[in-house]
């Protein structure tokens, strides 16, 4: 079973799944975060319904603690749009970590995370489906290392899947090394943003560890029809990595949502990009990346 904000569902019910996206986020009141703010449930419902109308079924909202996570808002979006929405526990890179983690011991942070995973979040006791961790650009700070170590133990003990933020795609191996040292199961870990590196060898080496990756910055290079990423995906499939790749949008900005008059909208992956990938790779491979692989990573039975 997979936890959603509307309760557990069987993994068969996940269907088309974006493993890293956003539907409700209030990161910060500062003006530079205005574009990153989704505070209007109706706009998010509108976008989610459009996603559903093209066959979409599940969104994993990867907004972490202290970045404006709001599982109760997600619960109402999921109910109104009639899709599955999952949320996460865990933390972002240091820049967005809460100050209070410095006040807590490792054991207290461990207990806090396990508490969210077992007892739920908010008065609605909503259960997270995964746990986020993050690192900075080309470095892992002491705080990030500490959180990765604690979360690695939490993953080992609870089996919760992990989806990590690799800043501009960097530090994937370093993250995995820290997590593995704590006994984490890399087959339930998915690294975000590594497509930004545009380096096939880098991605293949990550997958060789047993971890998975998401191509979650598709839809940004529309004038070239995502040509570079399509080519990278073709090469990865040619080299036998089709079971380690997920597709997602990470479209947590107004400028990407149709409901805010942005482009290309959540529907992009399962419409425009799907047509291209189907003709390049075949429908079966496309379905692996959008249904089977997220399902396997998120299933903990």
Closest-by-Cβ residue to Zn ion is 250
- Strand-pair partners of 85: 59
Q: Give the nearest distance from C-beta 161 to Zn ion in angstroms.
A: 16
Asked if 250 touches Zn ion (CB under 5 A), the answer is yes
Please, which residue, 151 or 250, has the CB nearer to Zn ion?
250
Q: Give the nearest distance from C-beta 50 to Zn ion in angstroms.
A: 19
Asked if 62 touches Zn ion (CB under 5 A), the answer is yes
Q: How far apart are CA 282 and CA 240, in angstroms?
A: 14
Sign of CA dihedral 301, 16, 214, 71: negative
Answer yes or no: are the C-beta atoms of 144 and 136 closer than 8 Å.
yes
Q: Give the nearest distance from C-beta 10 to Zn ion in angstroms.
A: 26
Report residue 265 as tokens. Answer: 């909208």
Sign of CA dihedral 172, 174, 175, 181: positive
Which range touches Zn ion (CB under 5 A), out of 56-64, 113-121, 148-156, 255-263?
56-64
For the chain, strand residue ranges (E) read: 2-4, 7-9, 16-21, 56-61, 84-90, 130-135, 162-166, 189-192, 212-215, 245-247
Which range touches Zn ion (CB under 5 A), out of 23-31, 54-62, 112-120, 124-132?
54-62
Asked if 47 touches Zn ion (CB under 5 A), the answer is no
Asked if 226 touches Zn ion (CB under 5 A), the answer is no
How many residues in the shown chain lie near Zn ion by CB under 5 A? 2
Which range touches Zn ion (CB under 5 A), out of 60-68, 139-147, 168-176, 255-263?
60-68
Per CB under 5 A, residues contacting Zn ion are 62, 250
């Amino acid at each position: 079973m997979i936890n959603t904000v509307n309760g557990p569902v069987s993994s068969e019910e996940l269907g088309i799944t974006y493993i890293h996206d956003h539907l409700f986020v209030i990161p910060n009141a500062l003006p530079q975060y205005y574009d990153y703010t989704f505070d209007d449930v109706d706009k998010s419902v509108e976008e989610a319904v459009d996603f559903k109308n093209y066959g979409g079924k599940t969104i994993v909202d990867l907004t972490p603690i202290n970045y404006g996570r709001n599982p109760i808002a997600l619960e109402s979006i999921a109910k109104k749009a009639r899709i599955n929405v999952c949320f996460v526990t865990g933390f972002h890179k240091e820049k967005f970590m809460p100050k209070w983690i410095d006040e807590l011991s490792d054991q207290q942070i461990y207990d806090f995370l396990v508490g969210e995973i077992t007892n739920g979040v908010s008065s609605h006791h909503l259960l997270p489906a995964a746990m986020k961790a993050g690192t900075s650009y080309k470095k892992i700070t002491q705080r990030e290392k500490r959180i990765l170590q604690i979360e690695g133990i939490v993953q080992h003990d609870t089996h919760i899947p992990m989806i990590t933020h690799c800043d501009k795609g960097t530090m994937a191996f370093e993250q995995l090394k820290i997590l593995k040292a704590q006994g984490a199961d890399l087959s339930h870990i998915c690294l975000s943003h590594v497509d930004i590196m545009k380096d096939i060898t880098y991605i293949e080496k990550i997958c060789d560890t047993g971890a998975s990756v998401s191509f979650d910055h598709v839809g940004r290079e529309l004038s070239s029809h995502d040509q570079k990423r399509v080519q990278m995906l073709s090469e990865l499939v040619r080299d036998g990595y089709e079971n380690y790749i997920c597709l997602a949008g990470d479209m947590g900005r107004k400028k990407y949502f149709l409901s805010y008059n942005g482009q290309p909208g959540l529907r992009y992956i399962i419409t425009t990009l799907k047509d291209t990938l189907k003709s390049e790779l075949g429908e079966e491979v496309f379905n692996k990346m959008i249904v089977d692989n997220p399902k396997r990573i998120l299933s903990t039975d």
